[in-house]
Chain A
Amino acid sequence: MSERDKDAISADELDRMSDDELVRLGTRLDDVRLVQYAERWPVPGTKMERRALRHVTGWFVLAGVSALALIGVFVFWPYEYLPPGAPGYQVRTLYTPMVGLTFGLTLLGLAVGAVAYAKKFLPQELAVQQRHSGSSSEADKRTVAAEFRDAGTRSGLQRRTLFRRVAATSAGLFGLGLGVMAIGPLVRDPWKHGDSPDSLWRTGWKPINGETVYLRLDTGDPDEVVLVRPEDLRAGGYVTVFPFRETDREEPERLHAALRRADSAVMLFRFRPGTTVTSRPGREDFHHGDFYAYSKVCTHLGCPASLYEQQTGRLLCPCHQSQFDVFAGAVPIFGPATRPLPELPITVGDDGYFVARGDFAEVVGPGFWELKP
């Protein structure tokens, strides 16, 4: 049926039609034919129907009860920490599961109820819709094209070439501006400030204005500053350290940030006396006695390579099983990592604390395009 057929139906005819007939007409106008459109319950109020309705209602009642229970659990269930074995521990461990259970039951009840209602009470419907042929009619195509041409001529835009160009150029420039705004922020030269501590070439250990960089422990409290002295480590021990500058002491944000910097984590080892240790060329004086400091960032994909075996001197990265030999300059001896862990040059300052003698001599962490092997 096309537009004309609709107009063929007079208002009187429409007035006389029942809702049922109007529905049939509407679907017919959309080229949809209802093959089957049967009531589920032709006789209302049967025992079967009432039972089906009870069934569906049950799901919504369940949802309502669970929702109330969810509120009750959330407000009243005890959740404060108690150690295992303490009276009340079992109840408290059930807090999260109970919240999840009541939350899930509520959602499930609503969803199953809705679907079950549709399955049991909506009419059984089988409809067939005609497919239309693909393109518009020839008349439609020609008339629309003519309308566009007419608009061009009548508005005078076709004639006024200069005006048209100026207007189009302005709009185009605005579009260009939008494009610049969208893409501009993506255009960056990460190598412009190659000497900044924030570039890929440098780390948080890079000395700034000649200020001493100490080795600092992470005690779990980011405001606490604990520096490391040689006697703090027993032979066969190791500890993870981060850079610290005296000017950061009163700056909580910088104290926190120093512990979170991805490239700053360094492992400080104290080898057992008598261990045969070889350094890589050019790094013979990076260590302080039995103390050696290596970057904790795996040179494969940047995981913390921190599984340290103090007798074999092997350092294992848990992500892809790269192994480094810290008794031999932390060179990779197994797994996908190809570059040694960079060594941090350290010494002990006048006040007895470990200090870094400078930044790493090479790039920390996984490789990137610009990194020449």
Chain B
Amino acid sequence: MRLGAFVTLLRVRALPVIAVLLGILVLWYLGAVWLNAAFAYDAAARSGTELSFSEMIAQTMSQKRPVLPAPHQVAAEMWKTIVEIAPTSKRSLLYHSGITLSSTLLGFVLGTALGIALAIGIVHSRVLDRSLMPWIITSQTIPILAIAPMIIVIFASQGITGLLPKAFISMYLSFFPVAVGMVKGLRSPDAMHLDLMRTYSSSKLQTLLKLRLPAAMPFLFASMKVGVAISLVGAIIGELPTGAVAGLGARLLAGSYYGQTVQIWSALMTAAILAAVLVILIDIASRAVTARMGARP
């Protein structure tokens, strides 16, 4: 019975996703052949040889600086730079991911804390609500990432480099979704429940801790997912103007300077995996918390 349910789940949920992923992989290979063919023919014409169709296909899969590297080239590069090279080496992607991840997480934690604090203030004070909330929403429409390089340079001119400026950008980006989501969440309890708390003659703090915060949990986790994804983007963008020293963003920039497409794609894939893992971790935490709070799936 349980096995049967599991198989159905697998068929209904997993099969379409796997099919779509396979489709993307096939499209990627076709794209690699299509985009790299010109270079392959060009090289053959210069060396005065004729290329058969199958030779051309083989050529497009193994160029050193392809226009679009084939998936297995990216995978091989990632295997080489993640597993084979020691994580302490500057050529290891783990080393760069670690740097990006540390500023992402620091910024994300600070941003989440700031967002929650702001939301609690907004929910409890009418002045803050009326005056701050429109500005929080307006600031969402401003491309904050655009000032990332300026923040880095300003911090650097004051002698602060490394983790903190990047974490600051991540914090700046991640506090908005958390603040907006938490305001919604802290206001989500029914009027009935709030009235019940009042009949218990509970203080504002008790209402906050026992009713508002638990009610806000689903909202918090939903906005944390957005927040952690955007924190990672912020950290990567923050690494661009530092002169390509370390981190996934620096890897991207260095790759684009030297035309190392395989390196760009592997850095990009690593960033994607990192983002996916972070989002999935938050999803797991969210499930655990809501299950602990007695929610039924």
- Decide whether A and B are members of one complex: no
Query: Which residues of A are interface residues toward B (Cβ below 8 A)?
Result: none
